[in-house]
């Protein structure tokens, strides 16, 4: 096996542990996960978290694929798997019946870490949160995941920080779960929800305004509009309409509280955006809605490159654990790419990280760190391999 000529180079070689360090910091303060019986845990939470992050990072195709790697791959066996290995039954029990509180804690902690260091792309637009749902193909045995006859799906509802390009809050339902009720749950004070036409509801527009929720929602072009006040429009703008209106038909579905409606055109497609953001220009509202596509890109990238929807669990609990692990992996990548390259997450940087991890294996520079002190482990691993 090839070895590096410079032994001091090994001090910077533990790329996986460097990448994983923000999660290690988060686990040091989380609620403890203890065995509920006399039998000790076959896999600690930290080992479980490392395994699932490794699953997503390396694009494994199934739980069986991951377990085979943890058993046969030198790096994974030494640095990721429990000391005595892990059997399929123990891994399944860990995923489907425990650790949800701890995964949620780590996710929220990493989200806070990422928010504190990642720059805002458009700070002048305020705190923008894209809101959307994504369907997950389920098996017929997943009886809780109602969708259609002979078809099972689950749905994840996500709030996505459009300025920093990272996920925020999330909820899991069956595939038929309504999306509009989650807007109020996802949005915090001062945040503006940015949504597509599936969230149009005149009754909820009124409710959100009464509750002090800020929103921008695309509406159908055919929606009836009653103009209360017309706002001036620049002649060279993509905006063709800006007014205070009420939407809908009187005594049928008309909004009770006036709101702002902005219309703009891009590539011969007209967009109508209903909002209660009166502080922005019409062009800024158009820019904010364009950013909503980032959540669509996130879902597509997340599915394709981290294999988040390759099921390793069948229960609602287990699927939520898997989704949280996928989000944790993405947040770790966001922090890593910013610190290492001052960039956002990209498949180019993810591939570089994977290559560095494999190069560590070739150089014989790996080992499992104690959960408490990463820097001490770096030194311990170097001394052990020289």
pLDDT at 38: 59
CA distance 54 to 70: 10
Q: How many residues does the chain have?
A: 386
Name the residue with tokens 């720059």.
119
pLDDT at 359: 82
Upper half-sphere CA count for residue 151 (Cβ side, 13 Å): 9
Contact 185/171 with Cβ under 8 angstroms? yes
Name residue 247's beta-bridge partners. Answer: 225
Q: For the sheet containing 153-161, what is the strand order?
A: 166-174, 153-161, 127-137, 191-195, 214-218, 269-275, 259-266, 239-247, 225-230
pLDDT at 309: 82
Contact 179/157 with Cβ under 8 angstroms? yes
| Strand (E) or helix (H) holding 317 | helix 316-341
Rg (CA), the chain: 24
Contact 271/289 with Cβ under 8 angstroms? yes
**Residue 33 gets which letter from DSSP?**
-
Cα 320–325–327 angle (5° rounding)? Answer: 95
Q: Which residues of the chain have pLDDT under 70?
A: 1-13, 35-39, 361-386
CA distance 382 to 373: 15
CA distance 91 to 95: 6
Tokens coding 139: 């098996």
Name the residue with tokens 């949800």.
100
pLDDT at 83: 87
CA distance 5 to 2: 9
CA distance 255 to 274: 11
Name residue 191's beta-bridge partners. Answer: 127
pLDDT at 36: 64
pLDDT at 367: 53
């Amino acid at each position: 096996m090839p070895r590096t000529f410079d032994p001091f180079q090994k001090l910077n070689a533990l790329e996986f542990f460097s990448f994983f360090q923000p999660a290690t910091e988060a686990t040091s303060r989380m609620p403890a996960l203890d065995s509920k019986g006399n039998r000790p845990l076959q896999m600690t939470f930290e080992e479980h978290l490392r395994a699932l992050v490794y699953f997503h990072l390396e694009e494994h195709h199934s739980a069986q694929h991951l377990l085979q790697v943890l058993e046969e791959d030198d790096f994974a066996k030494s640095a990721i798997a429990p000391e005595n290995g892990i059997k399929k039954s123990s891994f399944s029990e860990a995923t489907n019946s425990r650790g949800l509180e701890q995964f949620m804690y780590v996710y929220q902690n990493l989200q806070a870490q990422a928010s504190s260091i990642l720059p805002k792309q458009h700070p002048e637009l305020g705190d923008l949160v894209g809101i959307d749902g994504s369907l997950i193909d389920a098996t017929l045995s997943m009886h809780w995941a109602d969708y259609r006859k002979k078809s099972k799906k689950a749905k994840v509802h996500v709030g996505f920080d459009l300025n920093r390009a990272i996920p925020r809050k999330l909820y899991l339902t069956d595939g038929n779960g309504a999306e509009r009720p989650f807007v109020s749950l996802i949005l915090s004070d001062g945040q503006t929800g940015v949504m597509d036409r599936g969230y149009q509801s005149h009754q909820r527009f009124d409710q959100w305004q009464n509750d002090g929720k800020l929103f921008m929602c695309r509406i159908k072009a055919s929606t009836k509009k009653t103009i209360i006040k017309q706002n001036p429009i620049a002649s060279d703008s993509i905006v063709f309409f800006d007014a205070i209106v009420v939407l809908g038909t009187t005594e049928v579905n008309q909004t009770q509280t006036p709101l702002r409606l902005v219309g703009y055109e891009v590539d011969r497609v007209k967009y109508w955006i209903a909002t209660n953001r009166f502080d922005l220009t019409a062009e800024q509202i158009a820019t904010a809605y364009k950013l909503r596509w980032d959540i669509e890109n996130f879902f597509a990238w997340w599915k394709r490159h981290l294999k988040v929807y390759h099921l390793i669990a069948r229960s609602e609990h287990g699927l939520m654990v898997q989704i949280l692990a996928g989000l944790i992996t993405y947040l770790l990548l966001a922090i890593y790419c910013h610190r290492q390259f001052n960039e956002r997450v990209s498949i180019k940087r993810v591939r570089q990280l994977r290559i560095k991890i494999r190069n560590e294996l070739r150089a014989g520079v790996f080992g499992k760190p104690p959960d408490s002190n990463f820097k001490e482990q770096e030194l311990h691993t170097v001394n052990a391999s020289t």
